[in-house]
Structure 1
Amino acid sequence: MVFYPPAWVPKLPFDPPDSITIGDFMRSEETGRHPIAKSRNPFTCGITGKTYTTAESFERVNLLAKALSKTMGWEPNADSPWDKVIGVFSFNTIDYLSVMFAVHRLSGIASPANVACSASELEHQLKSSGAKVLFTCVPVLETALAAAKGAGIPEDKIFLMDLPHHAPKPHFKTVDDLIQEGRSLPDLEPLRWSKGQGARQVAFLCYSSGTSGLPKAVMISHRNVIANAMQYCVFESVHRKKLGIDTQVELGILPFSHIYGLVVVAVSATWRGDEIIVLPRFELNQFLQAIEKFKINHLPLVPPIIVRLLSSREICKKYDLSSVRFIFVGAAPTGKETVEGLLRLFPKWTLGQGYGLTETSTVVCSTSELDVEQGTSGSLLPSTRAKLVSPDGQEITAYNTPGELLVQGPSVVLGYLNNEKATSEAFIFDEDGRWLRTGDEVMVTKSASGNEHLTIVDRLKELIKVKGHQVAPAELEAHLLSHPAVDDCAVISVPDDRDGEVPKAFVVTSAEVSSRKDEDIAAEILKFVQDHKAHYKWLKGGVEFIDVIPKSPSGKILRRLLRDREREARRAKVSKI
């Protein structure tokens, strides 16, 4: 059975353009962008207030493209896009998108990298993508230099992004230096793209974190990003119109190196005329100050930030956060208890969740502000279709029945770079066409209004099998976070002689129990689960206290690191025996 968007979701007004760059899509009102004259400044620094108008932002892209063309000898209509690849390894800045659109103007490719990468991880990305240039920033320059050296990128091809309160380094050109150079250079020739080139040509190489091994390079076309921006904005246009929202102020704290921050925030929001208040990283007081100062209306966040707000109630009370209307949470499911706790703290806020992947150029389904059903990730976006299949490959047609989610739509990516095995495993074909296997266990449910919603159960590879029962770590984590002794937590599977697998919790305790004994807190947590959950969900693997739960910048729990920790502990125990 194929699931479709609800009847209230409008269809796309036209097919996503397949022969233009993302940058051209952003510039042209003919492709549906919000009128430039009525648009807010697209990016404003949340620390200094530095900003550019929409027209100035477009100009900076062109000037950067001209300077990059001269520096590298790259021409818009010459050579392969694979000969013109740049790496971007930086915290968020107001020029982040300008840098990537500049290489697109030359028909090249941008590969954004997570600032949490080690030198070896970044070197792998630079080598596998074929990057010839690296844009970075002062706080991570040491890592960038080590990785660039290993990848064969000379220092004169490393450029610095401007970050607040970080002075440029001698001997390195900055983005502003390149822009100044571009002012004295001749105009570039127009791009001459053939029909359908935007659907075939890679715009971004984004690296998926994966559960093991080296990250895979996801090939995302220009049309993939254009399509998802259109899908997301058309979906949201219904509630924005009914709420009387023309443009709004959004927070840009999610890493633009991650597909969520890149497409949902940096591209989609500015295409519809919104203003993004850019922060380089999460720092609680800076975050709250930005909301108060710039009167931010919309907060795209990840679950760890929600948890931090809940544990910082007294600090939050010091700031005027009354401008906030809507919280959009993605990248990982947010538990019911966490949501309810936040809404008790801020009863005038509305919280919705969304779901997507790097492989879908972000959003598959989202919550409308007019149809909020807590615990779900909302409804399918326009032009998106979905199926659920059981472990034996049978299609699931009933509501409230979990199965692996398959997705089809114009934002589904081309595949993985130089990895035919991973690509063939990720996609299947049937009479309805090509489907992406998400690897996520999902249920389709109905909201109170009768609309179909998707509920994300868990990653199939992370489900814990306890004597024929499946236990979702996310469910237990959400329950544990409602306990006053738990500040953060993660649940993994550990081997058990009797049951095969059992859940074990890693817990970061809250400050209010700092004076208590660990064994007493652990006993209390174990009983808390036993009192509220079925016996096969009990924490028979025990509770271990830890200083911090390892997570990616997007908020996903890095369970493999906890599993590695557990294996090492078991080996050490065996060796002592």
Structure 2
Amino acid sequence: MEVSVESGFCSSTGNYSSKWNSPVLPQTPHLSLPSFLFSQLSPDALLKPAFIDAKSGKSISYGELRSLTNTVAHVLHSLGIKKGDVVLVVAPNFLHYPLLVLGVMSVGAIFSTANPLHTRLELQYQIQDTNPKLILTTQTLKSKLDEGMGSRPLLILLEELMDSLLHNPQHYPTFNVIINQDDIAALMYSSGTTGKSKSVVCLHRNFISMSCSLRHVWEAEDGAFNDIYLCVLPLFHMFGLSLFVCGTLAIQSTTVVLNKYSLEDMLVSVEKYKVTRLPVVPPMVVQLVRLQDGVKGYDLSSVKEVMCSGAPLGRVHMERFSKCYPQMRLSQCYGLTETCGPITLCNGFSGMVHESIGGLTPHIEAKIVDVRTGKPLPPLECGELYVRGPSVMKGKFFLSIK
């Protein structure tokens, strides 16, 4: 069996494999993503900020995140939410967004989310598709959800919910419900490039695997525990959700949350919080280059890496970026909603600029297949990408959950 070390290609099977040694995945059948993440917490992390609001500076420590997640689970249970119910969050980024994700999953319910910029009709389609028992949204977005929703689910304003949780704290015993790794954790919506956006069924096992992979790769970097990430990506999208719930919590680093993207707010946050790693999408890289004269007034010396994904980043933009910001490593990664996050990363590869999307993450196998013959192809050939691994979705829902 001849395997190319650089590409991970095996000529006898036609498979590409990861260069990373795959970490052992937890085999306990009764395990949820929140219980997995909190079981890994070190004593040093309990008082450390897990999330910081970029504008106000308010923060949630890891210890508070664990406690509040349990509180959210109890509150949802008191509202009649039970295992298997769908809870839909329609909101932009805010400090407590990851808390809601973990709280919903802790009660055994299924987390789903929608783009807050969706029209009323787009939201109506998604609500009919997932049939949520509860919708959590903001006062500003409430009007989009007030009419035309058929059988009305319970709707609660996030401002009122979070005000009650934070200003009337109660001590609850640990919420106890049996959640299996093969239970559905989330329904995340794909881009819908070939038609209407479809709901991707993600299991707790998928997210746990993603957490293990990101932790394994990121911890190989020096100082991962002390890294400061800036979340400018939408948390309603799988790219943001996987990095800032599965990833940064797994390595117990700190994430600064920006409620709404603007270049100025991003630059101010980088300087103020000494951000070291900045996940972005291509238009943000282009904007950093195009408006470089305005950027010079900010101290960005803390940034070690700009990680770009969501679409291909053109070579010309990468070359211009490297000239403007030679001290920053510019890397790309690739993933799908259907893979619960990134399946390639550039970590471990030398160089400051990576035109490639990197190598496969732990546990992921891939094939490049000739679309006419179905035969696997070696490196440097064009074909269709096949992937498999424990983070790959269970399937897609085309009809409402009953």
- State the TM-score, normalizing by the size of structure 1: 0.64
Within 2, Cα distance between the matches of 1:314 and 1:135? Answer: 41
Q: Deviations over 1:88-117 (max 9, x none)?
A: 111111111211222222211010111221
One-letter amino acid of the counterpart of residue 124, structure 2: E
Q: Deviations over 1:324-355 (max 9, x none)?
A: 11011111111111111111111100011100
One-letter amino acid of the counterpart of residue 24, structure 1: S
SS of alignment partner, residue 213 of structure 1: coil
Residues 305 and 229 of structure 1: CA distance in aligned 2, closer, same or farther (over 3 Å): same
SS of alignment partner, residue 229 of structure 2: strand
Residues 335 and 18 of structure 1: CA distance in aligned 2, closer, same or farther (over 3 Å): farther
Residues 140 and 307 of structure 1: CA distance in aligned 2, closer, same or farther (over 3 Å): farther
1:161 aligns with 2:158: yes
SS of alignment partner, residue 98 of structure 2: helix
Q: Deviations over 1:390-415 (max 9, x none)?
A: 11143233221111000010000100
Choose the corresponding residue for 2:262, options 258, 276, 283.
283
Provide the residue aligned with 2:376 in structure 1.
396
Task: Extract structure 1 runs of 4+ deviating beyond 6 A.
Answer: none
Residues 139 and 312 of structure 1: CA distance in aligned 2, closer, same or farther (over 3 Å): farther
SS of alignment partner, residue 198 of structure 1: coil
Give how far 1:181 is off: 6.1
Within 2, Cα distance between the matches of 1:400 and 1:419? Answer: 40
Choose the corresponding residue for 1:191, options 138, 158, 177.
177
Give how far 1:182 is off: 6.6
Provide the residue aligned with 1:424 in structure 2.
none
1:332 aligns with 2:297: no
Within 2, Cα distance between the matches of 1:258 and 1:281? Answer: 14
Provide the residue aligned with 2:366 in structure 1.
386
One-letter amino acid of the counterpart of residue 247, structure 1: N
**RMSD of aligned C-alpha atoms?**
2.1
SS of alignment partner, residue 374 of structure 1: coil
One-letter amino acid of the counterpart of residue 216, structure 2: V
Residues 188 and 269 of structure 1: CA distance in aligned 2, closer, same or farther (over 3 Å): closer
**Which structure 1 residue ranges, 5 or more long, are not aligned?**
163-172, 421-577
Give how far 1:356 is off: 0.5
Within 2, Cα distance between the matches of 1:225 and 1:59? Answer: 21
Residues 334 and 189 of structure 1: CA distance in aligned 2, closer, same or farther (over 3 Å): closer
Q: Percent identity?
A: 25
Provide the residue aligned with 1:46 in structure 2.
54
Provide the residue aligned with 1:174 in structure 2.
161
Within 2, Cα distance between the matches of 1:326 and 1:294? Answer: 15
Q: Does the 8 A contact of 1:254 with 1:301 survive in 2?
A: yes
- State the TM-score, normalizing by the size of structure 2: 0.90
Q: Does the 8 A contact of 2:340 with 2:392 survive in 1?
A: yes
SS of alignment partner, residue 18 of structure 2: coil
Give how far 1:11 is off: 1.9
Provide the residue aligned with 2:88 in structure 1.
87
Give how far 1:191 is off: 1.6
1:74 aligns with 2:81: yes
Which residues in structure 2 correspond to 1:13-412 (within 5 Å)? 13-15=24-26, 18-29=29-40, 35-38=42-45, 40-71=48-79, 73-75=80-82, 81=84, 84-146=85-147, 149-153=148-152, 157-162=154-159, 173-178=160-165, 183=170, 187=173, 190-193=176-179, 197-199=180-182, 201-238=183-220, 240=221, 243-368=222-347, 370-372=349-351, 374-412=354-392
Structure number with higher helix proportion: 1
Provide the residue aligned with 2:394 in structure 1.
414
Give how far 1:247 is off: 2.3
One-letter amino acid of the counterpart of residue 88, structure 1: V
SS of alignment partner, residue 101 of structure 2: helix
Q: Deviations over 1:15-57 (max 9, x none)?
A: 465421111011102xxx5x24236311100010000111111
Provide the residue aligned with 2:4 in structure 1.
none
Within 2, Cα distance between the matches of 1:56 and 1:306? Answer: 34
Give how far 1:138 is off: 3.4
SS of alignment partner, residue 246 of structure 1: helix
Within 1, Cα distance between the matches of 2:330 and 2:105? Answer: 35
Within 1, Cα distance between the matches of 2:274 and 2:26? Answer: 35
